[in-house]
Amino acid sequence: MKKIIAGLVAIALVAVSIGVAAYAFANTSTSEPEGGSSYSIGGVKGMGEGYHNMPEEYVLNTTLPSVPAKLMVYRVVEPNVTREEVASLAERLGMDGSVKEESYRFVVTDGQYDLHVGKSVHNHIYYEDTSRWRKRNDKDEPENLPSDEEAIAIVMEFLNDTGLMPEDAVPHKVEHSTSKVMVSFATDETNNLPAIAGFRMSVEVGGNGNIIRVTKDWSEYEPYKESSVITPEEAFEELNKSGITTGLRNVTTATINEVCFGYHYYTDYEKEQRFLKPIYKFKGVAKGKIDGHTETKPFSTLIYALSDDYPIPPAKKYVLNTTLPSVPDKLMVYKTAEPKVSKADVASLAEQVGLNGSIKEVSDGFMVTYGQYYLKVNNISGSILYTDIGNGECQNIRFSTGGGITCDVSPRSGHEVLTMLFLTPGLGTCHSTSHPSSDDEAIEITREFLDDTGLMPEDAILNGVEHSKNGGMNVWFRREINGLPVTGDGSEIGVGVCDYQNIAGVFKVWKEYESHEEFSIITPEVALEEFKTDGEDAGRVNARGVVTINNVYLGYYSKPAGEEQAYLQPVYVFEGVTKGSGGTMRFEQYIPAITELGGIEFGE
């Protein structure tokens, strides 16, 4: 049975959560495309900024690699970091401070020197001379920096003397700046494949050969089990199905110049992934359009190589802190209606919200801009976005898969890309100083606006009011089908209210549907076991922690805006909290309630 991850919300974890994916592969041909890469994981997760495309044509400009039928999957070994070990490391680094234990790490401070040692599977170690790293000083001038060869020799001696040098690490590259020389390391070959990627270590050398910073994420791992591997031809077919992500719209041709095969490790400080698994990497150049002009952009797409499901270990303990729901024997599956978005429809809506700008047809729908106001209707899901972009710095606005928009921001703002999600910080920007005096007033304004513009569905149910930092309020609506809530961010309306004259933003995704067929559903008890054995997302975060389930209910799953979906299918929703070495996390997990769908895949 296939599962869908809804998402995780951090309650208390590291102050800043960072996700980094790294790769090392067996190359089969050709050179790296110029201009950088936009990464995506085929069929799993998009990485990097850009547009998801289904190219009209794929050109294989290289040979496919030879791979074994089976390959070992490795399990990351959770470290048992003790106060004594951290004290010993601090001593080897010449530090004299006491060891302070925090929830997710140990900290030692000695004057200008800081040492952090994490407790998680990443075995994160961070050491820094705070008086010199990223601070101008007379010691770290270019003339005082070592050469490449000198820097490597200094770093190797330092790592060996302090016991920080892994057995399987080899120097990877040397980078220079005006104030330091950084030596980075990669892992040596495993299983006759190039370095298992994702382990990272770098040492920065300043003037006079002084070590000013060390960053190390180097987990121990062990063989887990052999697993069947899909062929390169099957991976290529999967690429054809999943598409690519690049900085172009309407990609016509994707030319693949290199196909690699190796191990993949995803380093995410919220999600302590515990396995290393084989993966294919397709690299090449895409041809498409930007603002009507034909251009080329590099792409790099990953396709997982395991033929069976990715193994996730169970949590150490499960606590059911609620009662399981009573459910019927059968439930209806609903077929969604394909949205029919026309230019005339968009023109009528633009007139309703007071926009007099011209309508522009884009790859994923229609858009209208008028001064600081922006309207977009998505032709995949029928989603509607209306927002006051205020300062006008938001350009090239497009839907993101999380239920919001992404846009390019002008250079003067200091950011290349801005993503606006519609739960945080809110819908649009309030320029008015007069705000609703109460939730009831905000709801009244919202209902009047939605009724006047024809955007209020008959089956909309008030879902609450949020107070934004700018003084406005966000009013949210949801829907039910047969008395069951629709979940998954694919059936919601949000309206940002400033005052009676100023609606800051509207976001609506509300798929039309019709009855398809009734199917038998699994019991809540079976769903609970599936939640445990299928490797739930809570287990992915803290595989040896405690998972507390606080709520279980039936609902219908609806994909977010911008994603195609043919059927609305019933799911069990598990909500709760997980506690482990990475901290405390809330989770929401969907388990399909129907096992046999007559050939329909879950989430289609």
pLDDT of residue 17: 23
pLDDT by residue (tens digit) across 423-453? 333 455 565 566 777 889 889 989 998 998 8
| Contact of 503 with 448, CB cutoff 8 Å | no
Q: If you ran DSSP here, which 8-state letter would residue 306 be given?
A: B
Given this model, what pLDDT does residue 332 score? 94
Q: Quick check: 536 and 573 in contact, CB under 8 A?
A: no
Within 13 Å, how many C-alpha atoms sit on residue 581's CB side? Answer: 24
The stretch 448-474 carries a mean pLDDT of 86
- Tell me if 226 sits within 8 A of 70, measured CB to CB: yes
pLDDT band for position 395 (50/70/90)? low
Q: Quick one: DSSP state of residue 111?
A: T
Report the b/e string of 389-407 with b at 16+ CB within 10 A: beeeebeebbbbebbbbbb
Greatest mean pLDDT among 117-121, 290-294, 536-540: 117-121
Mean pLDDT of 554-565: 84
Which DSSP string corresponds to 374-406? EEEEETTT--EEEEE-TTS-EEEEEEETTTEEE
Q: Answer yes or no: are the C-beta atoms of 247 and 100 closer than 8 Å.
A: no
Higher pLDDT, 4 or 186: 186
pLDDT of residue 55: 87
Residue 402 — very low, low, confident or very high, per pLDDT cuts 50/70/90? very low
Sign of torsion over alpha carbons 564, 570, 571, 575: positive
Per-residue pLDDT of 307-345, as tens digits, reads 765 555 566 688 999 999 999 999 999 999 888 888 888
Q: For residue 367, what are the β-bridge partners?
A: 360, 376
Q: Which of 4, 362, 20 is nearest to 215 (CA)?
A: 20
pLDDT given for residue 193 in this prediction: 58
First to last CA, the chain: 14
Give 571's pLDDT tier (boundaries 50, 70, 90): very high
pLDDT value of position 125 = 92
pLDDT (0 to 100) of residue 387:
78
Model pLDDT, residue 168: 79
- Does the structure show a pLDDT above 60 at 593? yes
What pLDDT is attached to residue 488? 84
Q: What is the mean pLDDT of residues 87-102?
A: 92
Q: Are 21 and 199 in contact (CB under 8 A)?
A: no
At 524 the pLDDT is 96
Cis bond upstream, residue 166 (ω within 30): no
Neighbours of 209 (CB within 10 A): 17
Residue percentage of the chain with pLDDT more than 90: 30
- Give the β-pairing of 169-176 and 244-246: unpaired
pLDDT of residue 51: 67
pLDDT tens, 221-240? 788 788 889 999 999 988 88
- Confidence category of residue 50, pLDDT binned at 50, 70, 90: low
For the entire predicted model, the pTM comes to 0.53
User: Residue 463: helix, strand or coil by DSSP?
Assistant: strand
Per DSSP, the chain holds a count of helices (H) and strands (E) of 7, 39
110 pLDDT more than 70 = yes
For residue range 35-48, list pLDDT tens digits in order.
333 323 333 333 33
Can you give the pLDDT at residue 186? 77
**Average pLDDT of the residues in 484-497:** 88
pLDDT reading at 270 higher than 50: no
Query: Between vectors from CA 338 to CA 419 and to CA 352, what angle results, nearest 5°?
Result: 65
How much is the pLDDT for 362?
Answer: 79
User: Of 490, 497, 499, whose CA–CA distance to 466 is shortest?
Assistant: 497
Residue pLDDT, tens place only, 51-91: 677 888 899 999 998 888 888 888 777 778 899 999 999 99
Mean pLDDT, residues 455-462 taken together: 93
Query: Which residue carries 């209210």 as its tokens?
Result: 497
> What pLDDT was estimated at residue 430?
61
Paired with 187 in beta bridges are 169
CA dihedral 556, 558, 564, 565 (to 10 degrees): 0
DSSP E strands, 422-521: 461-467, 473-478, 480-481, 484-487, 491-499, 502-510, 513-520
Compute the mean pLDDT over every residue in the chain, rounded to the nearest whole number: 76
Top pLDDT among 142 and 408 is at 142
Residue 120 DSSP label = S
Residue 159 has pLDDT above 50, yes or no: yes
> What confidence score (pLDDT) does residue 262 get?
81
pLDDT of 548 above 80:
yes
pLDDT digits (tens, 9 = 90+) for 1-31: 323 323 322 222 222 222 223 333 333 333 3
Per-residue pLDDT tens digits for 162-185: 999 988 788 888 998 888 999 998
